[in-house]
Structure 1
Amino acid sequence: MTTLSLVLRPERPEDDAAIGRLEARAFGPGRFARTAYRLREGAPHRIDLGVTASVGSFLAGSVRMSPVRAGSAAFLMLGPLAVDPSFEGRGIGTALTTAAIEAARAAGEGLVTLVGDAPYYARFGFSAVPTGRLTLPGPVDPARFLWLELAEGFCAGVSGLVEPAR
């Protein structure tokens, strides 16, 4: 396998259209029906925590973080994590996820949630949200609803319905 000259950098406003096209290639039109997408529609993502990955001038991947809350607890939802299908399996998703988690930690955030593949995200420290602690406003396989505590003790006070933080 050829080594990629991958460049990770913070998302910029002018990346928005290219990220939209990337997400369309990676997930197709059915993505809009998913609970996580519907939740993220309710509030803009945090551009200061978004990360892009490019190979040359080609946008090969991106990850975004959206502000959400449950009751009075404000935290983040990671996603979408998108990698162009022609670059899958080359570590871009891992690099983007690591960079996004570190950006959230550096920004002083206490918790990141996501809906995704537990075995994939376990390597970053994510685990299943304990049954009954948090719920999403739509159907989700509970085994795929994950969280990662960034600030010790933050999760102790987090429970309820997850909603967009406006």
Structure 2
Amino acid sequence: MFQIRSELPSDGAAIESLNDLGFGPDRRGRTVYRLRLGAPTLGFIAADPESDQPLATLRFWPVMVGLDRPALLLGPLAVTPERRGQGLGRALVGHGLSVARDRGWRLCLVSGDPDYYRPYGFEPAAARGLAMPGPITAGHLQVKELAGGALDTLPREAILRVLPWRCHRGGDADGDAVVTHRRLRVG
């Protein structure tokens, strides 16, 4: 048994531990980590329902495709070794994609095993002219439409680059939250 909930600030250490177990402490040197700047836009935990202990984690990061197309970058997805193969990762990905769609996101990218992500509707990004700066395992960059037609409107005349998109959260004169976005070039 597990329950899915939104990530909390107090989950930070547990998330880092799960990611180290899943990907090793050298994970921050991978190309995809250069796109994970600032805070994730969406973060979810599969937790033990009695102790609320995180058993798996999934984050989504805002990126820009080309110069003007906001998208989400899925990952990392990590599951504690004792619970792998029990559906926690699949449940988190399905839940996360559903929330992203409900919040109006149109595109999602992932750098991961094509066999794992294909059942969610991800397809090779290279076939759509998308590339990520820096080295990445061939075939691992994938894309999924969260809204119909989102991929049809991408320009086909040039290879697009995935650029990180940082969110700055602040407040306006009334104290309401304001989010501004900046594009950052990588490489």
User: What TM-score, normalized by structure 1, do the two folds share?
Assistant: 0.89
Larger relative contact order, structure 1 or 2 (CA cutoff 8 Å, min sep 6): 1
Q: What residue identity is the alignment partner of 1:76?
A: L
- Report 1:16-31 matches (<5 A): 16-31=12-27
Structure 1 residue 38 displacement after superposition? 2.1
Q: Equivalences for 1:1-166 in 2 at 5 Å?
A: 5-40=1-36, 42-46=37-41, 49-55=42-48, 56-57=50-51, 58-70=53-65, 71-131=67-127, 133-158=129-154, 160-166=160-166
* SS state at 1:154 partner: coil
**Structure 1 residues 120 and 142: alpha-carbon distance in aligned structure 2, compared to 1, 3 A threshold:** same
Q: Structure 2 stretches of 5 or more lacking a match?
A: 167-187
Aligned length: 159
> Residue type matched to 2:88 in 1?
I
Q: After superposition, give the CA deviation of every residue in 1:119-156 in whole Å (9 maximum; x if it has no partner).
A: 11111111111347122121112311111101111113
Deviation by residue 1:36-93 (Cα, 9 ceiling, x = unmatched): 12221x34211xx211001232211010000000210011000000101111111110
Structure showing greater radius of gyration is 2
Q: Which runs of 4+ in 1 moved over 6 A?
A: none
Distance of aligned partners of 1:53 and 1:39 in 2 relative to their CA distance in 1, 3 Å threshold = same
Task: Give the RMSD, CA atoms, in angstroms.
Answer: 1.5
Deviates more, 1:93-102 or 1:138-147: 138-147
CA distance in 2: counterparts of 1:132 and 1:155, whole angstroms: 8
Identity of aligned residues (%): 37
Moved more, 59-68 or 18-27: 18-27
Displacement of 1:30 in angstroms is 2.1
Match for 1:31: what amino acid? R
By percentage of residues, which structure has more helix?
1
Q: Is the 8 A contact 1:39 1:137 kept in 2?
A: no
